[in-house]
Amino acid sequence: MSDFLNSLDPRINRLNIPAEFGTTFPSKENKDQFVTFEVFVQPTENKPYQHEGIVHAPTIDMAFLFAKEQFSRRGMSCSGVWVVNTNNVKVSPITENDEDIYDFIHEEIMEGAEKGNSEKYEIFHLRKRGKQHAHVGNLEASCFEEALFKAKNQFQEEKSVLNIWVAKSEDFMKIEGEDFADIWETLPDKRYRDAMDYKATDKIKKFKAEQKA
């Protein structure tokens, strides 16, 4: 008994942790550091995808597995999750709140850019500091710079956009549409994850009444 750490948690006791667990823990020279993936979630079909955060994952298919449970396990519905390797997202500079980043984007940005085949790029906007990037659409371009320049014609808004993310459509893993709708089907039944499911004011009232009596 005394050879192992004695915990109040039976799960921990089953791990058989030595009672005299080494007080020094060697620093790992090579860290087990995966890459990160940016996660975008669509709550219902006609809403835009919105950036929700990141996951660490070794591959994009595992990134999806992780993103689904970290970022779409709550709420009444979810209709899709996109993940993309952080390395594959190009980021514009960020402007002041009253400036529009598109005003700083001119044809010259394409000068010297290496053009490839025409393909689809996804565009995301940040409209205010502190908010999340939201998907505004996609377009055909032959390089990131061209995508950014074309985005100005297609997606510039009345209100200023502070920051733009651009990524190739094919770099995303997109889990959405009819084929996957059922994996979120029971979300509304997960009532136990919701504060609304824990009402007990009646019990308190009854208790107080009994105390008085």
Partner 1 sequence: MYGGGQVFESSSVNNELLKDEDPQKLAEFEARIERGEKIEPNDWMPKLYRKQLIRMIEQHGHSEIIGALPEGTWITRAPGFKRKLALMAKVQDEVGHAQLLYGAAETLGKSREQMIEDLITGKSKYSNIFNYPTFTWADSCFISWLVDAGAIVNQLANARGSYGPYCRALDRICAEESFHLKYGHHCVIHLATGTPKQREMMQEAVDRWWPPMMHFFGPSDKMSTHTQILTKWKVKMATNDECRQQFLDMYVPKIWELGLTIPDENLKKNSETGEWEFTEPDWEEFKRVINGDGPCNKERLAVRRTAEERGAWVRRALTAKTKGEEYVAPLA
Partner 2 sequence: MTEEALKDLLYKIADDLLILGHRNSEWTGVGPLLEEDIAFSSMAQDKVGQSLAFYNLLHELGEQDPDTVAFTRNADQFHNSQFVELPIGEYDFSLIRHFLFDHADYIRFSMLADCPIEELAQVARKLKGEIKYHVMHANTWIKQLATANEEAHDRLQKSLDEALPYALGVFEPSKFEKEIIDAGVYPGEKAIEEQWKENIAIVLEQAGLKLPDWNTIKPVYGGRDGKHTEHLQPLVEEMSEVFRVDPSADW
In whole angstroms, how far apart are CA 96 and each of 28, 101, 123, 148, 156? 41, 9, 20, 19, 16
Q: How far is the CB of 54 from partner 1 (least distance, A)?
A: 4
Contact 41, 83 (CB under 8 A): no
51 is a contact residue toward partner 1 (CB under 8 A): yes
Which CB, 46 or 203, lies closer to partner 1? 203
Q: Which of positions 71-90 make contact with partner 1 (CB under 8 A)?
A: 74, 85-87, 89
77 three-class SS: coil
Distances (CA, A) of 192 to 78, 125, 128, 184, 198: 18, 35, 34, 16, 8
Contact between residue 187 and residue 68 where contact means Cβ atoms under 8 Å apart: no
Cα 133 from chain centroid?
A: 10
Site string for partner 1, 28-47 (x = CB under 8 A): x-xxxxxxx-x---------
Q: Which amino acid is at 191?
A: R
For the bound state, the minimum distance from the C-beta of residue 26 to partner 1, rounded and expressed in Å, comes to 8
Minimum Å distance from CB 152 to partner 1?
Answer: 20
Site for partner 2 in 63-82 (CB under 8 A): 65-66, 68-70, 73
Q: Are 156 and 102 in contact (CB under 8 A)?
A: yes
Where along the sequence are the contacts to partner 1 (CB under 8 A)? 5, 7-12, 15, 17, 21, 24-25, 27-28, 30-36, 38, 51-56, 58-59, 62, 70, 74, 85-87, 89, 91, 93-94, 97, 126, 129-130, 132-133, 163, 165, 192-200, 203-204, 206-208, 211
Where along the sequence are the contacts to partner 2 (CB under 8 A)? 10-12, 14-15, 55-59, 61-62, 65-66, 68-70, 73, 181-186, 189-190, 192
